[in-house]
A and B are shown apart, each in its own frame.
Chain A
Amino acid sequence: MFMYLPIALTSVNYMVVMGLGLFVGLLSGLFGVGGGFLMTPLLMMIGIPPTIAAATDANQIVAASASGTLAHWRLGNVDFKMGLYLLVGGFMGGAGGVQVIKILRATGGADFLIKMTYVVMLGLVGAFMFVESLNAMRKNKATAGGAPEAAPVKKSGGLLSKLPMQTVFEKSGVTHSAILPVALGTFVGVLAAIMGVGGGFLMVPVMIYMLRMPMHVVVGTSLFQIMFTCTEVTFLQAYSNHTVDFLLALLLLVGSVFGAQIGTILGRKLQGEQLKILLSILVLAVTVKIILELVMEPTLLLAYAGGH
């Protein structure tokens, strides 16, 4: 039941690791998030060093997101045009975020910034999604029984509609300036690089609330974008830092690719608002865990170097 990991230099119960992969893959298929914000702490809990956990997680997300993207593509849920614009922004933001972290590490303020970004961003995103979904579910109940309205093509309002390069995103049924998804992609890329995650949990709310994309297209498009982001991260981490444990990734991806498929099937049985409220509860739970870790004295006051 045990397998030795050559880069993490530790032995793990492979059933437990595959189980973790299945669980996080399920969330990935269900919500369109890579699950990095959840998987990295889970791996650290079973004894994987933080730097190896973060880098290897990116490797397994490549598999889970590829599996999920294919499933969503078959369902017609991937807006490739929007995904590419977000990806361009994401790559630029990621490169910028890495530089910010380098400067902060040199000045000694990186750890504080990372933790605070986690708490603030997860807390804001989770709380906003929770309240918004709750209101939407109430509204749906109130209007239940009425004739369904035809979905119009949504457009950016106010100043955003005056931006140049207005583009129609047919699959999502929205019209925005191409600058908007690139800028939002950059913003998420910066935060994702600071936090050391793929950024799916940030990208999903950005697509829903700022780009006004329908939930079913958001999940597929987010997975498409995450697949490329994590491909870049995996290669760079393996090449520069030697922190990708391929055997660990293999165990995780065995679970996660199946989990992603099950998640996609499950997602079709749930309504958009139900999905959003479940994701918000998950994000808020992780936020509470991080806050508790910050304010409660840890059992061990020493730790290996690396990680958050």
Chain B
Amino acid sequence: MVGTKISTNGLFSFLAGILFVVMALPAAQAQALSCKVAPNDIPINLMYNGATLTITGVSAPGDDLIVKVSSETTDVHLKYKGKASGLFWMKMGGMEFKNVPNIYMLYSTGSIDTLLNADGRTANMIGYDAIRAGVEMERSDGTEVEAKWFEEFLKFKKTEELYLSKEGSIVRKQGATDNTYSLTVDWPFQAPPATYTVDVLAVRDGKVVDKSSAPFTVAQAGIVKQLSGMAFNNSALYGFVAVVIAMVAGFAVGAVFKGGGSH
């Protein structure tokens, strides 16, 4: 009797388990980290003044998220200012910052220092300290570059709106079967034409547990592309046209003002 009871209970538990797994399966599939960026292509046309990027995807409900929008690392050449003759501020020479991204925008669901451990931040280039760890700085005259110049580099990039770090702007929706996130990014017009990457990291207990990424392209289009191409590939014609149009415009307006401009 007892055995039958156990057997019935066991069967019930077994069926309930299967039912739970079957019901939970779509939810588990949806929780695999994904990332989608829209639009994929940003055309720089005549009226371009930056764009709005929408980054969306699915993530596990318990994980925190870090979203990085960046370019490939490159060498950035700038001029540094100093005091000449101990009196006048002016550009003193060149300074190169090697192995840094030209664009770096970081968004997270919390403080990145608490979300991810130091090794994880360095390995995935998360946070300004991770960029600092990989940068090489060189002065044109070969003299040593003090650490303070990296702070100046960050200040310069932030002023240019090319570097940004923001907490809390990722919107998450957690439903019974579906855990989504979305992020709206104001893409700066200062970002040059290139292919950029959105990297999304799911983090748990200070470690990266999942990654997803999506590329998008910013490219010149229409008259902007044509003028740029002419300026670099047919510069003599470009210079000639620039001069002729300016002169014709000047004389034309001069002619229009004939009545008011002369006695």
Interface residues of B in 212-227 (CB under 8 A from A): 220, 223-225, 227
Are B239 and A66 closer than 8 Å at their CB atoms? no
A199 to B238, CA, bound (A): 25
The interface residues of chain B lying within 8 Å CB-to-CB of A297 are 89
Interface range for B: 35 or more
The one of A3, A6, A60, A303 in contact with B47, judged by C-beta atoms closer than 8 angstroms, is A3
Contact residues in B for A301 (Cβ distance below 8 Å): 80-82, 149, 152
Q: Is A274 an interface residue (CB 8 A)?
A: no
Q: Is the CB of B247 within 8 A of A239?
A: no
Chain A residues with Cβ below 8 Å from B23 are: none
- B254 and A235 contact, CB distance less than 8 A: no
Pairwise interchain contact B88-A246, C-beta atoms closer than 8 A = no
B153: Cβ under 8 A from any A Cβ = yes
Q: Is B4 an interface residue (CB 8 A)?
A: no
Q: Is the CB of A305 within 8 A of B77?
A: yes
Is A231 engaged at the interface, CB distance under 8 Å to the other chain? yes
- B28 interfacial contact with A, CB 8 Å: no
Is B114 an interface position by the 8 A CB rule?
no
Looking at the complex, which of A7-15, A137-145, A181-189 is the stretch in contact with chain B? Answer: A7-15
Q: Is the CB of A242 within 8 A of B235?
A: yes
**Residues of A in contact, count (CB < 8 Å):** 62
Residues of A220-279 whose CB lies within 8 A of B: 227, 231, 234-240, 242, 244, 246-247, 249-250, 253-254, 257-258, 260-261, 264-265
Whether B192 pairs with A9 at a CB distance below 8 angstroms is yes
Q: In the complex the two chains form, is A261's CB within 8 Å of B231's CB? A: no
Instruction: Judge whether B65 is part of the interface by a CB distance below 8 angstroms.
Output: no
B79 near A: Cβ within 8 Å? yes
Residues of B within 8 A of A40 (CB): none
| A305-B79 in contact (CB<8A) | yes
Does A128 touch B at the CB level, under 8 Å? no
A4 touches B239 (CB 8 A): no
Contact with A along B228-253 (1 / 0, CB 8 A): 10011001101111110111011101
Q: Is the CB of A238 within 8 A of B238?
A: yes
Chain B nearest CB from A28 CB (Å) reads 11
B258 at the interface (CB under 8 A from A): yes
Q: Which chain A residues in 38-84 approach chain B with CB under 8 Å?
A: 59-60, 62-71, 74-75
Contacts of B209 in A (CB 8 A): none
Q: Once the chains bind, are B240 and A244 in contact (CB under 8 Å)?
A: no
Whether A238 lies near B235 (C-beta < 8 A) is yes
B79 engages A4 (CB within 8 Å): no
Nearest Cβ on chain A to B236's Cβ, whole angstroms: 5
Complex Cα distance, B255 from A66, in Å, reads 11
Q: Are B91 and A111 in contact (CB under 8 A)?
A: yes
A237 to B242, CA, bound (A): 11
- Determine which residue in B189, B223, B254 has the highest number of CB atoms from chain A within 10 A of its CB, and name it: B254
Is the CB of A115 closer than 8 A to any CB of chain B? yes
Q: Using an 8 Å CB-CB cutoff, how does the interface string of B144-171 with A read, 1 for contact, 0 for none?
A: 0000010011011001000000000000
User: Among A6, A111, A115, A261, which residue has the most Cβ atoms of chain B within 10 A?
Assistant: A6
Whole-angstrom CA separation of A4 from B220 in the bound complex: 10
- Counting from the closest, the 7 A-B pairs by CB-CB distance are A66-B250, A238-B239, A70-B254, A2-B49, A257-B253, A63-B250, A62-B246
23 of the cross-chain contacts (CB-CB < 8 Å) are A4-B46, A4-B189, A6-B220, A11-B48, A66-B251, A67-B257, A234-B239, A239-B236, A244-B238, A246-B231, A250-B245, A254-B249, A261-B260, A261-B261, A294-B87, A294-B88, A295-B88, A301-B80, A301-B149, A301-B152, A302-B95, A302-B149, A305-B94
* 18 further A-B pairs in the complex, CB-CB below 8 A; given A4-B189, A247-B46, A295-B87: A7-B227, A7-B228, A62-B250, A68-B254, A70-B255, A111-B91, A115-B90, A227-B250, A236-B239, A238-B231, A239-B235, A257-B250, A258-B253, A260-B250, A261-B260, A265-B260, A294-B88, A302-B95
